[in-house]
Structure 1
Amino acid sequence: MSRLLNAQWTPERDITGVPRRHRQPCRYDAFVPDPLVGRHVLLPADVAADVSDAERAVQRLNASGIPYRGYEAIARLLLRAEAVASSRIEGLEIGGRRLARADAAREAGVVEDAGAAEVLGNIDAMRAAVDDVARRPRLDVEAICDIHRALLAGTRDASWAGTVRDRQNWIGGSSFNPCAADFVPPPPDDVGPLLEDLVGYLDSDVHPPVVQAAIAHAQFETIHPFADGNGRTGRALIHVVLTRRGLSPHHVPPVSLVLATRSRDYIAGLESFRADGHEGVAEWIATFAAATSEACARVAGLTDGLVALDHRWREALGSVRAGSTVAQLLDEILPRTPITTVAQLVRLTGRSTQAVNEAVDRLHRAGVLRQTTAGRRNRAFEVDGLVDLITGFERSLASPAADTAVHPPVRPVPHRAPGR
């Protein structure tokens, strides 16, 4: 059974610069959750239907072909919110155009925008860690530590990345002590056994994938096993579960971004998971399933924008010969490379430099590509409309109405470029 452990907080040493009232010993309640392995989950018929709807939505997203070929670029840029913490680096303030330009420069071996390069490094580290962990035949606690280690690599906290905490932490309230905290996770001595139980549950298939992702995420956030970076790691676990279970082999919908937009429901759901037995777990799973369905619907709505761009490009070009370099770029490459270089296109297409240059020249004359730079000297090309589409989509995900003109973003998102 879950339980509250009443404990006394005493400052480890005499702290200067802290109000006296915060330096006094005080008592607090730490929450120790039920283990997951062997837990029976009762889902009312309506929640079971919500879960089925969510899983079908994820399956449709991953089974779709051409309409989603541009989602790879969009999904990668959306991962900035999963992979970085705005308190550490300016990841949420770096727009899609700046990131895409830095990515193209990095492809050319040039790193001039250190801030954007750090964001890209965090995104790549998260993707690599999640993909690696999702492919492992068995999971252990070290797998979770590997994700955490990857997410904190290159930050000022890298020295303790992947290290399970050995002291009490807390959420909300005072930054000096846990006595007025909104939530106090389990004491350090309970963290190890709870993590072992969590990976045992992650290695099972007793529950449907969406249910497992919901429960694993909530349990991880309840354990809060690291000194910092728990939110990012907990969100990464959603990707691990849905990928590992085969529900989302290609595209994991931006579930956590929808949950972040609906933060009040998210927090209430976690509180229900921790406090209200079977009914509370069902309430949290319903919240998570609804966010999953909404995330898939938002991505599906993006199809119209991608299709409209494709039509605009082809109308500007006129007749395009099947099998040509231009056709390959339109069909396979441009929708996933917002800003690119000739060298990158040569590598991606496998065609000669001459053929790619001729195709790029035609696309440039038609307005499908606009010349820009990647770094100070490297000529690059921006794909017409794609960066703006990505930025608009990311901003819409932060609006409860899915439209920033109706309801402004409720969390930090990149600014829309002036005049666009």
Structure 2
Amino acid sequence: MTHSSGIYVISTTLGEPVRAFVPHPLPPAGSALEPALFADLNRQAELALARLSGVSGLVPSVDWLLYSAIRKEALLTSQIEGTQATLTDLFDEEAGFKVSNTDDVEEVTNYLRAFRWVQAQLRDPKGLPISVRLLCEAHRLLLDGARGAGKQPGELRRSQNWIGGTRPGNAAFVPPPPEHVPGLLADMERFIHATSTGLAPMIKVAIIHAQFETIHPFLDGNGRIGRLLIAALFEHWGLLSEPLMYLSGYLKQHQSEYYRRLSAIRSDGDWGAWVAFFLEGVAQAANAAEQNIIQVASLVTSDRRHLLQSPKAGPASYRLFEMLPMMPRFTIERVRQQLDTSFPTATAAVKVLEDLGIVIEMTGQKKNRSYSYQGYVDLLSR
């Protein structure tokens, strides 16, 4: 049976025959992606990204912004898959505090590792390009640990998988049989590196993400690797100079529409509605990230002014303050190590910030105290 975006083939799995969907190679055929249809949405998304890049100059260090943006993306992409960890859990884990849902936090930190590794490869002239190998290695890092052990980390699936339903026969969607996967991914890789497709880069990112999710090449982690691929393509085509946007926030907010739009490509060949949804998402996510940067910049500026006006402040408390955006939860021992100073000096520096109300003590104990740059944590957790 033919279909506008692919064909169905009969695949037998767990002893029952099912209709598995095999997508056509990219680009989509026909006039569904006529550039004129998306010119306005594409321009709005590009403008939003340009403004986001511009506003990052408001803070002294773009590393601050990246610290929180990358963690928010890691958290939100994991939450789409049902992970319960919060941003505070992530900060606490980094501070060495006890967290209750360690498996969930491990999943998020694995995503962070995979993301950083992919970014390093793409920025290294000798690194891997965007390729099946790159995605497999990212998958291996993502599924490293307790939950991923039986899910063939780093390997393309060798069995039929399905999405939704309790068995392949009542599934919402059955991806291509495993023998089709390597060829489909090779086609996708060719499309990524093709020089003339006549499509704007952001539209290409949208269709590549959809194609990846349709191929569903791994036993687990396809959603997260597919969204990591979006970030990698933004880097590859220079759409945003630094990964300051967390698109997964928009996708999580509109999760049922996200899945419905992807599904309509397979059922009706409706590429247009998916691309429009994606471009609107980029514009909204870039605008949200821009607003967040403005709020962070004004909070930090006002707290810094407060500190500089204090007669008790000195070099150690100034240095500690500048570290807070990348160390929002901490102990005095951690401050001592970071400032490379004595325990009394570290204690005094923390006390200056606590007395000014910039940081708060969280335990209420006399010993083993923990601190938080709470205004900042609250701002990022919104």
TM range (shorter): 0.7 to 0.9
- For the pair 1:126 / 2:114, whether they are aligned, the reply is yes
Query: SS of the residue aligned with 2:166?
Result: coil
CA distance in 2, matches of 1:124, 1:255: 15
Aligned-pair RMSD on alpha carbons?
A: 3.5
Indicate the larger mover: 267-276 or 255-264: 267-276
Query: SS of the residue aligned with 2:277?
Result: helix
Q: Which of residues 166, 177, 185 is equivalent to 1:195? A: 185
Q: Indicate conservation of the 8 Å contact 2:111/2:141, yes or no.
A: no
What one-letter code is carried by the residue in structure 2 that aligns with 1:4? I
| Structure 1 segments unaligned to the other structure (5+ residues) | 13-24, 393-420
Q: Indicate conservation of the 8 Å contact 2:316/2:349, yes or no.
A: yes
Counterpart for residue 65 of structure 2: 71
Counterpart for residue 219 of structure 2: 227
CA distance in 1, matches of 2:361, 2:380: 19
Q: Indicate conservation of the 8 Å contact 1:235/1:256, yes or no.
A: yes
CA shift, 1:133, in A, is 4.3
Q: Which of residues 224, 228, 252 is equivalent to 1:236? A: 228
CA distance in 2, matches of 1:255, 1:194: 26
Query: SS of the residue aligned with 1:226?
Result: coil
Counterpart for residue 361 of structure 1: 351
What one-letter code is carried by the residue in structure 1 that aligns with 2:19? D
CA distance in 2, matches of 1:344, 1:60: 36
- For the pair 1:142 / 2:136, whether they are aligned, the reply is no
Change (3 A) 1:272 1:86: closer
CA distance in 1, matches of 2:252, 2:8: 29
CA shift, 1:290, in A, is 0.4
Q: Which of residues 273, 294, 313 is equivalent to 1:283? A: 273
Change (3 A) 1:299 1:349: farther
- For the pair 1:165 / 2:165, whether they are aligned, the reply is no
Counterpart for residue 82 of structure 1: 77
CA distance in 2, matches of 1:124, 1:8: 36
Counterpart for residue 52 of structure 2: 61
CA distance in 1, matches of 2:5, 2:37: 26
Q: Which of residues 133, 143, 151 is equivalent to 1:152? A: 143
Query: SS of the residue aligned with 1:9?
Result: strand
CA shift, 1:203, in A, is 3.3
CA distance in 2, matches of 1:171, 1:51: 31
Query: SS of the residue aligned with 2:96?
Result: helix
- For the pair 1:28 / 2:18, whether they are aligned, the reply is yes
- For the pair 1:265 / 2:257, whether they are aligned, the reply is yes
CA shift, 1:10, in A, is 5.6
Change (3 A) 1:350 1:158: same
Q: Which of residues 238, 245, 249 is equivalent to 2:241? A: 249
Q: TM-score, normalised by structure 1?
A: 0.74
Matches of residues 39-50 of structure 1 in structure 2 within 5 Å? 42-50=33-41
| Structure 2 segments unaligned to the other structure (5+ residues) | none
- Percent identity at matched positions? 31
CA shift, 1:358, in A, is 4.4
CA distance in 2, matches of 1:149, 1:85: 20
Matches of residues 182-221 of structure 1 in structure 2 within 5 Å? 182-204=172-194, 206=196, 207-221=199-213
CA distance in 1, matches of 2:120, 2:30: 30
Indicate the larger mover: 198-207 or 240-249: 198-207
Counterpart for residue 400 of structure 1: none
Change (3 A) 1:29 1:230: same
Q: TM-score, normalised by structure 2?
A: 0.81
CA distance in 1, matches of 2:121, 2:173: 29
Q: Indicate conservation of the 8 Å contact 1:30/1:185, yes or no.
A: yes
CA shift, 1:236, in A, is 0.9
CA distance in 2, matches of 1:305, 1:287: 27
